[in-house]
Structure 1
Amino acid sequence: MHRVKKLFTLIHIGVWTLFGLLVALQLSQENEHWRTMTLGFLLTCLYVFYSHFFLLTRYLGKNQKKAYFGKLAVIMLTGPFPFLIFHYRKLDTWDPFIEHYLMTLVTSVPMFVFLSWLARVTENLVINTIKKEQLEKQAVEAELYYLKSQINPHFLFNTLNNIHTLVYKQAPAAPEAVMRLASLMRYMIYESNAPTVPLSRELDYLNDYVGLQQLRYKNAPVVDMQVEGEIAACHIAPLLFIHLLENAYKHSPARLEPGDIKIKVEIQEDTLTFKVQNPIGNNRATGLEEPGGIGLPNVQKRLALMYPGKHVLEMGASDNTFNVLLKIEGIHSQAHEREADVLYH
């Protein structure tokens, strides 16, 4: 906000400097006393403009019309005096004084009263708009922070349950599971605080999670992940996919065959398509988030905040499988572009 006010100050200085030069140039061609004429005219303009400008600062938007119009009348009636004081002619008689006073009062004073009103309204509009946008941005950032803060406990709770089972069974894979969990938590705590992360890093995170979950199964990998397209230049909001993958594990049958959970990541131009498919057996209802679950609602809210109007999330069951389709546009946007888009919407 300080920078905005400083910018307006520079604009005022620049405009008045240019205006003064134009007045001096015009008068220098018409009158040999152009210096005093220019000084007097500028003083009248400055006096009327800024007296009314700061009067509006005090009374604009407040129900004090009588005080405002009373002081405005004083400003207008006294406005011509600086010009008359520096007038090159001696106005020691009544008639020429009244003539020049009325001429200045009718022509210059109303114009600069109007210009000061226009300048004050414009500045207030810009400043209030910036304040509103800052408040909206703070609200969005607070909600995003809240949603992301839900991810760690939710994910940690479910993963610790799995590790608890390994420890309870005294499985040899338990120490490795703890190390994998530490790696996952390191990403969530230290790397996912940015508005966006490289898509490649997010996919590495999913692979780590798949590796952790695979410790529960003795057979070949139950997840078949395919990536198509160039991902090097793509950026994505962090921790969007984990709930979708976790949901696939959570609502699949206890016994999974190799490749039962299918993940496909496809990049086409500026659009990312993320598909997850998992078996649900005869119980189709289990494909959805459990009542009270925060996973999928969390994803939906974050998508609405980070990619308003630029995403599609579809979920449904068919042929004993549950399918999730997520499409996101603008995956090449950097962090500052994503923040601007959030703010705009």
Structure 2
Amino acid sequence: MTVKNHQFNKFNNLFFLLWIMITALLWALDDSEYPWVIQKVLSGVSLIVALCSTTYFLCNYILPKEIHRNRILIIFIQLVLLCFVQAFLLWIFQEGIVLLEARHILPISQFTHERETFLVTLSNSVPATILVNLGFGGLKFYYEHGKLYQQHLNLQKAHLETQLQSLQSKITPHFMFNVLNHIHIQIQKDTDLASSLLLKYSDILRYQLYGVDKEMVNLNEEIAFMDNYIEVEKYRWVNTLEVTHQWDIQNGKTKILPLLFIIFIENAFKHVGRSVAQNGYIHIQLKQYDHEMILEVRNSKASANKQPKNSSGMGLKNAKQRLALLYANQYELAINETDDTYQITLSIVIGNEQS
């Protein structure tokens, strides 16, 4: 069964349940004296058929179409016209019972004694039909709004997933080529080192291929991935960089999104500055306590390669997009840049669930 049919049946089940309750209530409250019980039955049936059939048409054919088109004025006009149609049907049913009594098919009852003209019936019936239509129409509005809201959420989720897949596909592409090239060189010089690099890089690839398929991962898994990444980068830069990293983690089972921090670390290795006279440096620290994580990444800059302040490459742009999509107002990203230092500080408020 499709979602649309499920929603349709769910509403109509409630619709008919309400009419059964209304019918039972009207039957219980009707204290009119009828010569035959059949006349009371005909009176109730005529009322329910006139109102139930028209409100069903209103809720299942008129309102859904016009609500999706957002034509409120048309809905109002059709609702008023329907009220007059209902009042006319009630008069027709009344006249039908009077006709049966006039032909002595049924004994004379209050329908004949209290027979009203069409205009009087119309004026008496329209207020009641307006209330009935507003009640059931409001119920249908609630259900249609729920359907539209769910559709909006589904579209938003699909859009989010598409954007995330696009952003994740751009993470560390140049790193792959650099590492493979370095491994190729090391194979000819130091096979043990090349083998170690290859094993660590295989773990990196495995995480990137399979870790991102999970909606959330343990913080420990993300840290293991970053450890491997940093170790591989250390091998690549040999003795030209001073690299330190510190993980101060209170709960390693905290759930986070995969590949959340790697862009900032990759960006530091990509843009770190060093010279012949002085090595460059990269300092990485991740602190997690209670419901907050703070990542600090600081790297040296070469004055000759200085970029305009507040500039960011595609990697940082992608990172900001991911944070905006995934954490909305739950994060703060500060970028501080001087002539010889570049630092990012990312603070995220997260849940502290355990697997």
TM-score, normalised on structure 1?
0.78
Residues 71-150 of structure 1 mapped to structure 2, 5 A cutoff: 72=82, 73-82=84-93, 90=109, 93=112, 96=115, 98=117, 101-102=121-122, 105-150=125-170
Is the Cα contact below 8 Å between 1:152 and 1:188 reproduced in 2? Answer: no
Shift of 1:218: 4.9
Q: Paired residues, what number?
A: 333
Tell me what 1:191 maps to: 211
For 1:294-345, what per-residue CA distance to the aligned partner results, in whole angstroms no more than 9, with x for missing partners? 211111110110011111111223483321111111243699xxxxxxxxxx
Tell me what 1:285 maps to: 306
Shift of 1:274: 0.6
Is the Cα contact below 8 Å between 2:179 and 2:236 reproduced in 1? Answer: no
Gaps spanning 5+ residues in structure 2: where? 99-105
Tell me what 2:346 maps to: 326
Q: What CA distance in whole angstroms lies between the structure 2 residues aligned with 1:255 and 1:331?
A: 43
Q: Cα–Cα, structure 1 residues 249 and 255, in superposed 2: closer, same or farther, change >3 Å?
A: farther
Q: What CA distance in whole angstroms lies between the structure 2 residues aligned with 1:59 and 1:94?
A: 43
Is the Cα contact below 8 Å between 1:47 and 1:79 reproduced in 2? Answer: no
Is the Cα contact below 8 Å between 2:335 and 2:345 reproduced in 1? Answer: yes
Tell me what 1:43 maps to: 49
Q: Cα–Cα, structure 1 residues 197 and 143, in superposed 2: closer, same or farther, change >3 Å?
A: same
Is the Cα contact below 8 Å between 1:284 and 1:317 reproduced in 2? Answer: no
For 1:220-258, what per-residue CA distance to the aligned partner results, in whole angstroms no more than 9, with x for missing partners? 994322222412341211112111111222222457999
1:159 partner amino acid: V
Shift of 1:265: 1.1
Q: Cα–Cα, structure 1 residues 55 and 324, in superposed 2: closer, same or farther, change >3 Å?
A: closer
Tell me what 1:340 maps to: none
| Aligned-pair Cα RMSD in Å | 4.0
Percent of counterpart pairs with the same letter? 21
Which of 1 and 2 has greater Rg?
Answer: 2
Gaps spanning 5+ residues in structure 1: where? 336-345
Residues 225-304 of structure 1 mapped to structure 2, 5 A cutoff: 225-253=245-273, 260-283=281-304, 285=306, 293-304=313-324
Question: Equivalent of 1:311, from 331, 336, 347?
Answer: 331
TM-score, normalised on structure 2?
0.76
Q: What CA distance in whole angstroms lies between the structure 2 residues aligned with 1:35 and 1:93?
A: 16
Is the Cα contact below 8 Å between 1:277 and 1:321 reproduced in 2? Answer: yes
Q: What CA distance in whole angstroms lies between the structure 2 residues aligned with 1:86 and 1:327?
A: 77
Is the Cα contact below 8 Å between 1:287 and 1:322 reproduced in 2? Answer: no
